[in-house]
A and B are shown apart, each in its own frame.
Chain A
Amino acid sequence: MKCIHCAKDCKYSERSDKKCPHCKHPFAFEPRQGDPFTDGVFQSALDTISASSTIRFGPEHIYYEICRRKRYRFRHAHLYLIAGGHFLGVCACLLLPSPWRWFMPFLLLGIIVAIAWGFRERRLVPLSRGEFERLWNRWCEAHGKPKGLIVRKQAPAKPVPLESDVGDYSFDRVVVCDSEATVDLLLANQFHFENNCAVLSIDGYPPGIFTLVRDMLKRNPHLQVFVLHDATMKGCRLAHKLATDPAWFGKKIKVIDVGLRPIHADAFKGLWTESGKEVQPGDGISVSEAKWLSAYALALAAVRPEQVLKRLFRAINRQFDPHAESSSGGDGGNTGTTDTASFADDAGDTDGGADAFG
């Protein structure tokens, strides 16, 4: 097993103290003792979700990335195929003249193994939340919190007062989320700064400034409103709620739904959870969506952060393009539009505004 610090390999017998014999750095996991993966696999998952340390992420993103890691496994059928096929082949080879009789069985074995390798099964690593928490704590103990992990600061005992005028302005757009973790993802990655954008959760996060920011939104009559959410009943009704709740915008404003909906779920099979709640169509949810949501749910954290950010950037770019297409989602004609593009489309590229000469 390779050490993620010094990249040197070592045998099981050399790491009985769970430390690298070369650099003495501890290992977090030991597959020989029942752990589902090595430190290298975990590190690889971190590299993937952080897009090589360029994007910040939460523990929930690590969980889904680990769950997404697939193992190649041979089923019993594969082993029977190799053994049976080779036995029959050897028998047939006995009929061949020498030297083919001695050479062909090895060639045949190679061909059969190659075929079986191609048909081996890819399976997700089954991992419960509780098991992940245990492994995550061990990782942090051995290697510390990974760079890029979103860590909230402790709220100061006495909040630092904002300048008196800060609440007098507005934003070009807002992204309203159904969870605090999604708000954290956007804010920690400076999405608000790059896009002149407010980011709030529907339930009042971040708490200290929620009311102030929501009031600021009403100062821009041309505000662009996006919602970003899980594929859950609450998430899929978010756009409708914003468009109809007088505490938010009422019907005066178009809401663009860029969140996860059942239509996106196929790409994330294996990461669905059971919803256990009957969902009725209406209020932004179509009949077919209600059927899926009655059985399943899918967290936005199952989508890699990079793809979530790209999707949002792309949706914003489309709002500047008068020829951009969008389509109604669910029965949400009264809730604005749903961005039905996949979660993997490119975010587009711009050089930004550069500098002007006035």
Chain B
Amino acid sequence: MSGICGFVGDADAKLLDAMLAAIDYRGDRTETVSAAGVGLGYRWWGGRPGKSPGIHRVGDHLTVCAGTLAPPTPSPAGKLHARLHSADDTLADLDGAFACASWDADQQRLTLIRDPFGVRSLYWVEHAGVFYFASELKQLLAVPGLPIEPDYHALHKYLTFSFVPGEDVPIRGIHRLLPGHVAHWQYGRLQKTDYLTLKEQIDPRLADQKEAARFIRARCEHAVARRLNGEPEVALYLSGGIDSSGVAVWLKEAGVKVHAFTLDFGERSVEKKQAQQVAEHLHLPLTLLPVQGADLAPVLMDLVWKLDLPFGDAVTGPQYLLGQAARQAGLTAVWNGEGGDQFFGGWTSKPMISAQLYADLYEDQSRAQIYLQSYHRFYGLEDQLYTPDFRARVGPPGQRRALLEPYLHSSDAATFLNRVRLADIELKGSQNILPRLERMANAWALDARVPLFDRALAEASFQLPPQMKLHGACEKYVLKLILQNKLPRDIVWRRKFGMSVPITDWMLGPLAPTLEKLLGNASLARRGLFRAEYVNRLRSGENEPNETRRRRVGERLWALAMLEAWLQIFIDGRGRRPGGGA
């Protein structure tokens, strides 16, 4: 919840009102302040604990902060102001979900800072000699005269990852501050430094299973406790997997009243029974939310607008509807189990180990290329999907590999598993999972709490011997050791299936008319990015004419549809609310 914006330079202070109006769903109160050559704006919900009650002023110094700190504090802006202006503060324990800007009038310096893992975002652009920043992209598009052109390099990356990684966003000239970074704008220059670097420092004592379980359990409980903010009852997205079930256990043990929500895809539900089993075991009230493809059609454009950036994972649709259900139940904070895979060795570990062992056997294959394929979008399919004109604009080869290589050869981790973890945390975790879930929660004025993306817990996870994460072929081993006596045995030790959204059924069925609007021949021709032959083949339910396994059709269609919807709203419509309004 909440949002910030501002500028440094010669700009009209009224612009702050427009920038705050662009995020009117992020709060019912606004405040702006301007002085010579600087302006800051803040929007927030009144009466919510843990939020700054306004713009923090100390003399001529001004600080605005969107979001919350962990542990919570009555004024995150005040706390951050103190820490940023302390000469000897290393920010070593700074944690939470925040985006902050602080103006130092003496130094004539603006400082921007983002939370360690990227729950909240910060964008900036320099235009006509003025430096603008905002917690959402759409706010910057309110800057008069700012040219709005697609950044084709960023679109190219989106089509590989299903999100836009790195500092660039798909609008030319606008950039993003990376998570865990602090930046100073002074004398017309931006200097960025990171205040969080995860380093592998394996503690041999944690090779003992009991010791490892005790060590991590304490930090998990602490991570949950540090995010409790006084709400009488909270929502929990319960998938039936071990991560969200673990959060349920720790919330329950902390004495928090929890209302669980899970998705019901009818016959296509994969983990519904497990979620019911966990809720029953922990005596949690559970709302089963039936979701069908047809439910998404009327909300799609609002969903894309609130996502702010294009996100191509089909999970965003159900997340949007879960948020709606939680809000309708009168709740204001929603918890989830995201982060278990990133820190404790889920999903991508085993495929990447296979790839690593068999790397370099054949020509035309590299480790980074294989990792890029694991995102299952359009890597390697560019010739089939891209029009020649788009192909010519996407930039030189190697941009996407360059995003991965630093992690896969990182000197911060010597073990292979932790190198893959670093890539997974920094890319998929920080630049996909966290921002999209925060925006889907905020679409319904919910505060998103992600306890497993806790700084101390993350650092602890890099002290664990990697065999405590992937034990033989058993993923997230240490979490299973911790929870085996707290949850039903089959929940803990079963193989993970994930929340499989039946997106292919939806895209080829009830969402087909929506697809026709977004990806029909007329729309494709107007946009000029994609070849109609390939897109039409996907729409008929095929990736390839002779493919060995027909899969991921729906995910690919969803990614393309979300991009076209995003282009319509943010490029054609300059980020204005679809259907009018802000």
Q: Please encode chain A, from 132 to 167, with 1 for each CB lying within 8 Å of some chain B CB and 0 for all others.
A: 000000000000000000111100100010111110
Contacts of B50 in A (CB 8 A): none
Q: Which of A154-197 contact B (CB under 8 A)?
A: 156, 160, 162-166, 168-172, 184, 187-188, 190, 192-194, 196-197
In this assembly, does B215 line the interface, its C-beta being within 8 Å of a C-beta of chain A? Answer: no
Q: Tell me whether A168 and B467 are in contact (CB under 8 A).
A: yes
Q: Please encode chain B, from 325 to 369, with 1 for each CB lying within 8 Å of some chain A CB and 0 for all others.
A: 000000000001111110000010111011111101111010000
Q: Tell me whether A358 and B338 are in contact (CB under 8 A).
A: yes
Q: Tell me whether A351 and B551 are in contact (CB under 8 A).
A: yes
Known contacts: A162-B416, A313-B549, A352-B376. The answer to whether A150 contacts B362 by CB under 8 A is: yes
Known contacts: A166-B416, A222-B473. The answer to whether A354 contacts B549 by CB under 8 A is: no
Q: How far is the CA of A104 from the CA of B545 in the complex (A)?
A: 46
Nearest-Cβ distance from residue A82 to partner chain B, whole angstroms: 38
Q: Tell me whether B357 and A213 are in contact (CB under 8 A).
A: yes
In this assembly, does A349 line the interface, its C-beta being within 8 Å of a C-beta of chain B? Answer: yes
Q: Tell me whether B548 and A219 are in contact (CB under 8 A).
A: no
In this assembly, does A309 line the interface, its C-beta being within 8 Å of a C-beta of chain B? Answer: yes
Q: Tell me whether B341 and A170 are in contact (CB under 8 A).
A: no
Contacts of B351 in A (CB 8 A): 193-194, 196
Q: Tell me whether B414 and A163 are in contact (CB under 8 A).
A: yes
- Counted as pairs of residues, one from A and one from B, with CB atoms less than 8 Å apart, the total is 188
Q: Tell me whether B549 and A151 are in contact (CB under 8 A).
A: no
Nearest-Cβ distance from residue B487 to partner chain A, whole angstroms: 14
Q: Tell me whether B339 and A358 are in contact (CB under 8 A).
A: yes
In this assembly, does A342 line the interface, its C-beta being within 8 Å of a C-beta of chain B? Answer: no
Q: Tell me whether B373 and A193 are in contact (CB under 8 A).
A: yes
Known contacts: A163-B416, A165-B417. The answer to whether A358 contacts B548 by CB under 8 A is: no
Q: Of B350, B503, B554, which is in contact with the most chain A CB atoms at under 10 Å from its CB? A: B350
Of chain A, the residue at the smallest CB distance from B501 is A354
Q: Please encode chain B, from 123 to 159, with 1 for each CB lying within 8 Å of some chain A CB and 0 for all others.
A: 0000000000000000000000000000000000000
B interface residue count range (under 10 / 10 to 19 / 20 to 34 / 35 or more): 35 or more
Nearest-Cβ distance from residue B322 to partner chain A, whole angstroms: 8
Q: How far is the CA of A151 from the CA of B433 in the complex (A)?
A: 38
Q: Which of B191-215 contact A (CB under 8 A)?
A: none
Q: Which of A282-336 contact B (CB under 8 A)?
A: 306, 309-310, 313
Contacts of B551 in A (CB 8 A): 349-352
Q: How far is the CA of A209 from the CA of B433 in the complex (A)?
A: 35
- Pick the interface stretch among A24-32, A48-56, A110-118, A261-269: A48-56
Q: Tell me whether B549 and A219 are in contact (CB under 8 A).
A: no
Q: How far is the CA of A156 from the CA of B546 in the complex (A)?
A: 35
Q: Which of A45-98 contact B (CB under 8 A)?
A: 51-52, 54-56
Of chain A, the residue at the smallest CB distance from B346 is A356
In this assembly, does B84 line the interface, its C-beta being within 8 Å of a C-beta of chain A? Answer: no
Q: How far is the CA of A348 from the CA of B547 in the complex (A)?
A: 11
Q: Tell me whether B360 and A153 are in contact (CB under 8 A).
A: yes
Q: Tell me whether B504 and A219 are in contact (CB under 8 A).
A: no
Q: How far is the CA of A176 from the CA of B416 in the complex (A)?
A: 25
Of chain A, the residue at the smallest CB distance from B355 is A193
| Cross-chain contact of B361 among A163, A206, A309, A357 (Cβ < 8 A) | A206
Q: How far is the CA of A156 from the CA of B360 in the complex (A)?
A: 10
Contacts of A152 in B (CB 8 A): 361-363
In this assembly, does B282 line the interface, its C-beta being within 8 Å of a C-beta of chain A? Answer: no
Nearest-Cβ distance from residue B483 to partner chain A, whole angstroms: 13
Contacts of A109 in B (CB 8 A): none
Q: Which of B86-110 contact A (CB under 8 A)?
A: none
In this assembly, does B437 line the interface, its C-beta being within 8 Å of a C-beta of chain A? Answer: yes
Contacts of A170 in B (CB 8 A): 472-473
In this assembly, does A353 line the interface, its C-beta being within 8 Å of a C-beta of chain B? Answer: yes
Q: How far is the CA of A51 from the CA of B363 in the complex (A)?
A: 20
In this assembly, does B291 line the interface, its C-beta being within 8 Å of a C-beta of chain A? Answer: no
Nearest-Cβ distance from residue A47 to partner chain B, whole angstroms: 9
Q: Tell me whether B549 and A357 are in contact (CB under 8 A).
A: no
Known contacts: A165-B415, A169-B350. The answer to whether A358 contacts B340 by CB under 8 A is: yes
In this assembly, does A43 line the interface, its C-beta being within 8 Å of a C-beta of chain B? Answer: no
User: Which applies to chain B's interface (DSSP): helix, strand, loop or mixed?
Assistant: loop
Q: Tell me whether B416 and A354 are in contact (CB under 8 A).
A: no
Q: Of B363, B419, B433, B470, which is in contact with the most chain A CB atoms at under 10 Å from its CB? A: B363
Contacts of B321 in A (CB 8 A): none
Nearest-Cβ distance from residue B505 to partner chain A, whole angstroms: 8
In this assembly, does B411 line the interface, its C-beta being within 8 Å of a C-beta of chain A? Answer: no
| Cross-chain contact of A192 among B340, B355, B500, B501 (Cβ < 8 A) | B355
Q: Tell me whether B550 and A171 are in contact (CB under 8 A).
A: no
Q: Tell me whether A355 and B502 are in contact (CB under 8 A).
A: no
Nearest-Cβ distance from residue A193 to partner chain B, whole angstroms: 5
Nearest-Cβ distance from residue A300 to partner chain B, whole angstroms: 16
Q: Tell me whether B472 and A219 are in contact (CB under 8 A).
A: yes
In this assembly, does B438 line the interface, its C-beta being within 8 Å of a C-beta of chain A? Answer: no
In this assembly, does A273 line the interface, its C-beta being within 8 Å of a C-beta of chain B? Answer: no
| Cross-chain contact of A209 among B319, B349, B357, B502 (Cβ < 8 A) | B357
Q: Tell me whether B473 and A51 are in contact (CB under 8 A).
A: no
| Cross-chain contact of A220 among B313, B354, B472, B554 (Cβ < 8 A) | B472
| Cross-chain contact of A356 among B239, B353, B358 (Cβ < 8 A) | B239
| Cross-chain contact of A352 among B243, B373, B555 (Cβ < 8 A) | B555
Nearest-Cβ distance from residue A175 to partner chain B, whole angstroms: 12
Of chain B, the residue at the smallest CB distance from A320 is B495
Q: Tell me whether A54 and B500 are in contact (CB under 8 A).
A: no
In this assembly, does A108 line the interface, its C-beta being within 8 Å of a C-beta of chain B? Answer: no
In this assembly, does B170 line the interface, its C-beta being within 8 Å of a C-beta of chain A? Answer: no
Q: Tell me whether A54 and B355 are in contact (CB under 8 A).
A: no
Known contacts: A356-B241, A358-B340. The answer to whether A347 contacts B362 by CB under 8 A is: no
Contacts of B546 in A (CB 8 A): 51-52, 54, 306
Q: Which of A179-232 contact B (CB under 8 A)?
A: 184, 187-188, 190, 192-194, 196-199, 206, 209, 212-213, 219-223
Q: How far is the CA of A349 from the CA of B466 in the complex (A)?
A: 33
Q: Tell me whether A354 and B357 are in contact (CB under 8 A).
A: no
Q: Please encode chain B, from 409 to 442, with 1 for each CB lying within 8 Å of some chain A CB and 0 for all others.
A: 0000011110100000000000001000100000
In this assembly, does B183 line the interface, its C-beta being within 8 Å of a C-beta of chain A? Answer: no
In this assembly, does B244 line the interface, its C-beta being within 8 Å of a C-beta of chain A? Answer: yes
| Cross-chain contact of A351 among B243, B244, B473, B500 (Cβ < 8 A) | B500
Contacts of A197 in B (CB 8 A): 354
In this assembly, does B279 line the interface, its C-beta being within 8 Å of a C-beta of chain A? Answer: no
Q: How far is the CA of A278 from the CA of B417 in the complex (A)?
A: 50
Q: Tell me whether B548 and A164 are in contact (CB under 8 A).
A: no
In this assembly, does B187 line the interface, its C-beta being within 8 Å of a C-beta of chain A? Answer: no
Q: How far is the CA of A220 from the CA of B363 in the complex (A)?
A: 31
Nearest-Cβ distance from residue B265 to partner chain A, whole angstroms: 11
Q: How far is the CA of A190 from the CA of B362 in the complex (A)?
A: 11
Of chain A, the residue at the smallest CB distance from B432 is A355
| Cross-chain contact of B473 among A151, A162, A165, A171 (Cβ < 8 A) | A171
Q: Of B336, B337, B349, B466, which is in contact with the most chain A CB atoms at under 10 Å from its CB? A: B466
Q: How far is the CA of A4 from the CA of B473 in the complex (A)?
A: 48
| Cross-chain contact of A51 among B336, B362, B544 (Cβ < 8 A) | B544
| Cross-chain contact of A354 among B315, B370, B452 (Cβ < 8 A) | B315
Q: How far is the CA of A88 from the CA of B63 in the complex (A)?
A: 106
Contacts of A156 in B (CB 8 A): 360
| Given A169-B353, A193-B370; 7 other pairs, CB 8 A cutoff | A162-B416, A168-B467, A171-B350, A353-B500, A354-B501, A358-B237, A358-B452
11 A–B contacts, CB within 8 A, in A order? A54-B547, A56-B362, A153-B361, A153-B362, A170-B472, A350-B500, A353-B497, A354-B498, A356-B239, A358-B247, A358-B452
Q: 8 shortest A-B CB distances, which residue pairs?
A: A358-B337, A353-B498, A51-B546, A163-B416, A358-B243, A358-B244, A219-B472, A220-B473
